[in-house]
Each structure stands twice: as C-alpha cells, then as structure tokens.
Amino acid sequence: MIRFILSKLLYLVPTFLGITLIAFSFVRILPGDPVLLMAGERGISPERHAELSAQLGFDRPLWVQYFDFLGRLFHGDLGNSLVTKKPVMAEFLTLFPATVELGLVAILIATLIGVPVGVMAAIKRGSWFDQVSMTAALVGFSMPIFWWGLLLIIFFSGILGWTPVSGRISLMYFFPDVTGFMLIDSLISGQKGAFTSAISHLILPSVVLATIPLAVIARQTRSAMLEVMGEDYVRTARAKGMSPSRVIGVHALRNAMIPVITTIGLQIGVLMAGAILTETIFSWPGIGKWMIDSISRRDYPVVQSGLLLIAGLVMLVNLLVDLTYGLINPRIRHK
C-alpha cells in the first residue's frame, strides 16, 4: 500500500509544475495593465508607471518572473494582493470555508440523490422511471448554471418568496466568525433563527451547484450497475437464493461504486468551476467570486496563487479517490 501511495504522489510533481506554468501564463495573457488599474481614474505618469513596474517586478523578463514566482512558492510565500495589500493565503483561508460549505452540501445532495436514482434506473431498466430519470439527468446536465440559477431566483425568491436572493445569512444576525462555516457558527451562536436563516440562504446555491454533478452521478451509477449486474458473480449470488437487496447492495453496488467514486471525485473540479458562476449569481462570498473580482482587477498574485490553490485541492481529492480504489478493490494496489 505504501508503494501504491508513493507512486501516486510522484505523478503529482510534474502535474503541479505544469499547473504553475499555466497559472503564471494565464494572468500574463489577460488584456490590461495591473499598474494602470491600481492607479485608477487619477492616471499615472510614465515615470511613476516605470517605478511601480520595477517595484512589482513586471519589468523583468517573463522567465525570470516565473522562476522568482516558483522560488517564493516553494518557500510558502504566495505573495500579497495588489489591491488589498493583504497576503493571498490569508484572503484564501478567510473565503475558503464559504466555498467548502457550499461545495460539500452540493456534492452531498448530488450523491444522496444521484446514486439511488441510478441504482433504481438500472434495476427498472426500460421502465417509465428509467426513462424519466435519465431524461431529467440529461436536461440537468445540459442546463447552463447561470440560466438555471436566475430561473430559481425568479421563481422561489421573486414569485414565491420562499428563499433569500443572495448572501450567506440575514444582515440582522451578528456573531463571531469562529469556524468560517456559517451553518456551524450560526448554530453555536445561540441566536434564535440564525441557523434557519443560514440554511435558507444555502438552499438555492447548493441546488444550482449540485445539478450537473447529480445528473452525471445518476447516469454513471446506472451504467456501472447495468454492467456489473450481468457479471457471473451476480448471477451466482442470485442462483444461491440470496435476497435481491443483498445481491444489489453487497455484490453489485460495491463493485459498481469504483467508477462512481471516480465520477464523484472528478465532480470536485466541476464544483469549483461551477462555484465561480454560482457564487457570482448569488453574491456568495467565496473563492469563486474572489477569483472573478481579481481577474477583473488584474490582481496577478491573487489570480495565479488562487488557481494553484484550487488546482492543488482538486489534485488532493483525486489522490484520495485513487487511494479509495485501493481500499475498495485491493487488486488495484498491485497494478
């Protein structure tokens, strides 16, 4: 198992270096001058522009800037924001819990609904349930997040008035930011109605963010179940007189979960991409909205370091998925 883990870790090194190059290059090809954006409407003289460019290191060759960026990165220095002057890591850690909270609830919704729907669709293959659920999954996968989010806001917030339009909690509640997770902080605050308000603000964004992963998980679960239900060991289990629930739950679903777990792990990247739009639509103060604002302001340190941190998170999740394979199916460790 240790050799299996080390082999997976070695694959991360070139991947991470490639991501650093992509992140560094991405912010440099964006149109606009960060020095001019920092100056704002007041403008700036050519002499002052050259002075600031030299202070920020933008006057040096790109390859020198890249290796300087790598050197600071390996020392744990992600730099400071050009706009707020605060360390990028400090801003990331402040906003990250909001994105994690939204993403965890979204993937929980997608998994708890998608897996059972996929299993039932496989068991009842060709039935009305199978056709309706897979059609709904296809529609959910095809819907643009921004359109779906605005549609839900109009209906549930505008017409019915059931849910708030934006934010994480009502402005009438004030309590210490202990963990950064609004559900936990509102619960331990003891303020009446705070936890309910936090949940009501979380419903629409999490449903919107969960739509595409839910559709993918449901379809993948159905496909994997149909494949394993035709295997010899499943037919043997049925021939031995085992109950349908044991055949499905123990023999079929356990083996079908390997590709499903892969799908769930890959959806973390989809969630991070979807969080950018979702957080923007619902004014959710998380990493996605932070990145969009930083791109518009050409805040180089925030954009490139934010991309690295998000990519690192996705790589970590994929590593955990690979390790989970080894736990579910020990044969994979020896491949």
Pick from 138, 128, 197, 121: which is nearest to 163 by CA?
Answer: 197
Whether residue 221 has pLDDT greater than 60: yes
Amino acid of residue 103: G
313 to each of 96, 182, 275, how far by Cα in Å? 11, 21, 14
Rounded Cα gap, residues 56 and 58, in angstroms: 6
The predicted-structure confidence for 161-217, as pLDDT tens digits, reads as follows 888 988 888 888 888 888 888 889 888 888 888 899 999 999 999 999 999 899 999
Q: What is the phi/psi pair of residue 286, to 5°?
A: -125, -165
Is the separation of the CB atoms in 183 and 194 below 8 Å? no
* 87 bridge partner residues: 80
Rounded Cα gap, residues 142 and 150, in angstroms: 15
Is the separation of the CB atoms in 212 and 268 below 8 Å? no
Which CATH number is 88-334's, of 1.10.3720.10, 3.30.310.50, 1.20.120.1150, 1.10.10.10? 1.10.3720.10
* 80 bridge partner residues: 87
What count of residues does the chain have?
A: 335
Is the separation of the CB atoms in 225 and 115 below 8 Å? no
Rounded Cα gap, residues 151 and 158, in angstroms: 10
Pick from 265, 298, 291: which is nearest to 95 by CA?
Answer: 291
The reported pLDDT for the residue numbered 140 is 85
Alpha helix (H) residue ranges in the chain: 2-29, 34-39, 46-56, 62-74, 88-123, 128-142, 145-152, 182-189, 194-228, 232-239, 244-246, 253-281, 287-296, 300-328
Is the separation of the CB atoms in 319 and 268 below 8 Å? no
The predicted-structure confidence for 65-119, as pLDDT tens digits, reads as follows 888 888 888 877 788 887 888 888 888 888 889 988 998 999 999 999 999 999 8
Q: What is the mean pLDDT of residues 304-321?
A: 80
Q: What is the pTM of this model?
A: 0.78
The domains of the chain are located at: 88-334
The predicted-structure confidence for 20-70, as pLDDT tens digits, reads as follows 888 778 777 766 666 666 665 566 677 776 777 777 677 777 778 888 888
Amino acid of residue 238: R
167 to each of 36, 146, 208, how far by Cα in Å? 31, 16, 15
Pick from 181, 168, 170: which is nearest to 289 by CA?
Answer: 168
